Structure 1
């Protein structure tokens, strides 16, 4: 993963990303884009939909089809599922040998976004973890849609990433008005302006960097497609036009209580947080691998083996304040007086999967 190099003895939990949005917003376009770009990045996706009609399967070269599942020639898998079979479908996709790197669920026809989040986070299989709610907004029709379907506001309010899609169909002034509405509904979520729902997959999940460096990543975002100014490279790690990753490194141990607060209440505009953490506490000097999205935190404990204990965290999102992010993490470095807080580690341990 960008900015973090860690030797992993086993595959990390597979992120499950929920994609929601009203009819015509661009969910299907996003799914097809992710499936097409997966082959160029060496990433294997599992996609759960209500029916195959929403995905242009024919254009993605089917290699096999059996019992509601379609295997694609680029290594991805597309399955039909309903709410009752969701947990079983997720477990099947991460079975040994499947080698799925990320799973995307289209909310249409399966369940309301809030219910889907509950179902995903309730899955007991340690091989999967919640990867966030991506809500796609039709920028050209959002005002009419909100009047006719007030539930759209509630959906945006719980999203972790909001795609303001079809931005090329409206004027700059109308686009600013839409962005203001999105910010009012959800002031802390990362919001990204898109055309044809084209999003760099690296924003949503980790990709195979070795493969990505060797092969062209066709269909990725360009600066003019996002209509956004390029960010300065000097103060944070630049991933792609429109979003950024802020990296924090420290050889000093962190205080678990303050780190947990950072993970559970991520900075404004942050979509996900990942990395490794060092706590210099008796019985808890293992490597702690953390994943956070929208306040949902997953922690795993591993051995440092031959590595020198240290902390490396990456916050990924849109509109992040690099100085503020680093300042908050710098403040989480352990102080001598923290030794008296014998229960502080519990704030991290409660996120360790049983």
Structure 2
């Protein structure tokens, strides 16, 4: 295992929610980010409703999974084939987003993606979009919340701009209270027109940065040639900024007050070998408000040292052994990303994990268990 060469697995993000809640609006918003390279798989009834112009520069075209709800298909090979095709390193994708039918069952879809992954891709989160204007009229609060929230990692309460401002906090709180009856670890946030900071969900431009990063001793054999940045990328950045200003004007607000949820992040580094159990204690039970954690940790295994890539989104933990030999300023680096969390507490906890006071004697079995789980 230690000598195997493995490309970084691509996160697969499941985008779920009932018809009209705003799934496609959120997807289109993510596609508008000028640095994002996103693979798109659509499972819906009827015609594709992705803004065609937004897919240009991201993927050639969205792939459609036809024949009914993807989680009910008797043959799920079409989904697996589509996901595997999008792991082609030539595409240099940051993430793959599966926009599921409103009838899809998130728990079933999450299990399917996890089972199919095998270190080619991994579950990067399950987002459920809720229509704030419909919630109070359609929800039977006397019944238990749906099982879909058992697999959900992020609930987006959308269309807050369509209800009175004085009622918005209460609307989000009502959804949060209900969702937490089923799964208290789900993060629930409110949005208007599905405007959500993409860095909360994935890392725009990560694949391009990885491809451009020089390897020690020269370029990696077989690496894709780095293409010069095209003028259209700068035009897209400019259009992205101008669209925010224009939308603010439509809302009668300044760009600074435009309802757009921004992610918060904390980076923690370490020298030497980290304590693997302290690291896993953190990523297996993320603090309130933390949505995901990513990075690399170096730990002692037997008489040597090995490095592992760690990704966690909600309760979903993905670990892979990495052969990355790039010289870095730190042996371990973990980035904590969320919307509203105790940054100093997270920093303190991870600093102790990545820089133990004494050489950790803890075994890396929990890390290795997650590696085997996805093999």
- Report the Cα distance in structure 2 between the residues aligned to 1:112 and 1:27, rounded to whole angstroms: 15
Deviation at 1:345, TM superposition (A): 0.8
354, 363, 368: which is aligned to 1:349?
368
Structure 1 runs (4+) deviating above 6 angstroms are 209-213
- Taking the TM superposition and a 5 Å limit, the aligned residue runs for 1:233-252 are 241-252=261-272
Structure 2 CA distance for partners of 1:99 and 1:310, relative to 1, 3 Å: closer
Contact 2:289-2:338 within 8 A present in 1 as well: yes
- Report the Cα distance in structure 1 between the residues aligned to 2:116 and 2:303, rounded to whole angstroms: 29
- Report the Cα distance in structure 2 between the residues aligned to 1:286 and 1:121, rounded to whole angstroms: 24
Counterpart of 1:226 in structure 2 is 259
Deviation at 1:139, TM superposition (A): 1.4
TM-score (norm 2): 0.75
- Report the Cα distance in structure 2 between the residues aligned to 1:350 and 1:281, rounded to whole angstroms: 13
Counterpart of 1:55 in structure 2 is 49
Counterpart of 2:338 in structure 1 is 317
Counterpart of 1:253 in structure 2 is 273
328, 333, 344: which is aligned to 2:349?
328
Deviation at 1:304, TM superposition (A): 5.2
* Greater strand share, structure number: 1
Q: Does 1:78 align with 2:72?
A: no
Q: Does 1:172 align with 2:192?
A: no
17, 22, 47: which is aligned to 2:18?
22
- Report the Cα distance in structure 2 between the residues aligned to 1:108 and 1:151, rounded to whole angstroms: 22
Contact 2:297-2:310 within 8 A present in 1 as well: yes
Deviation at 1:205, TM superposition (A): 1.3
> 3-state SS of the aligned residue for 2:47?
helix
Contact 1:137-1:164 within 8 A present in 2 as well: yes
- Report the Cα distance in structure 1 between the residues aligned to 2:87 and 2:175, rounded to whole angstroms: 34
75, 80, 88: which is aligned to 1:87?
80
Deviations 1:90-114 (A, max 9, x none): 1122235343331111221563011
Aligned residues: CA RMSD? 3.0
- Report the Cα distance in structure 2 between the residues aligned to 1:25 and 1:122, rounded to whole angstroms: 28
Contact 1:191-1:269 within 8 A present in 2 as well: no
Structure 2 CA distance for partners of 1:348 and 1:259, relative to 1, 3 Å: same
- Report the Cα distance in structure 1 between the residues aligned to 2:7 and 2:239, rounded to whole angstroms: 24
Q: Does 1:303 align with 2:297?
A: no
Counterpart of 2:224 in structure 1 is none
Counterpart of 1:4 in structure 2 is none
Deviation at 1:252, TM superposition (A): 4.5
- Report the Cα distance in structure 2 between the residues aligned to 1:86 and 1:149, rounded to whole angstroms: 36
Contact 1:226-1:242 within 8 A present in 2 as well: no
Structure 2 CA distance for partners of 1:182 and 1:109, relative to 1, 3 Å: closer
Choose 188-197 or 149-158, whichever is displaced more: 149-158
Deviations 1:198-226 (A, max 9, x none): 22322221111677995436156954222
- Report the Cα distance in structure 2 between the residues aligned to 1:264 and 1:157, rounded to whole angstroms: 16
Deviation at 1:31, TM superposition (A): 2.0
Contact 2:274-2:360 within 8 A present in 1 as well: no
119, 124, 136: which is aligned to 1:143?
136
TM-score (norm 1): 0.79
190, 202, 216: which is aligned to 2:238?
216
Contact 1:16-1:132 within 8 A present in 2 as well: yes
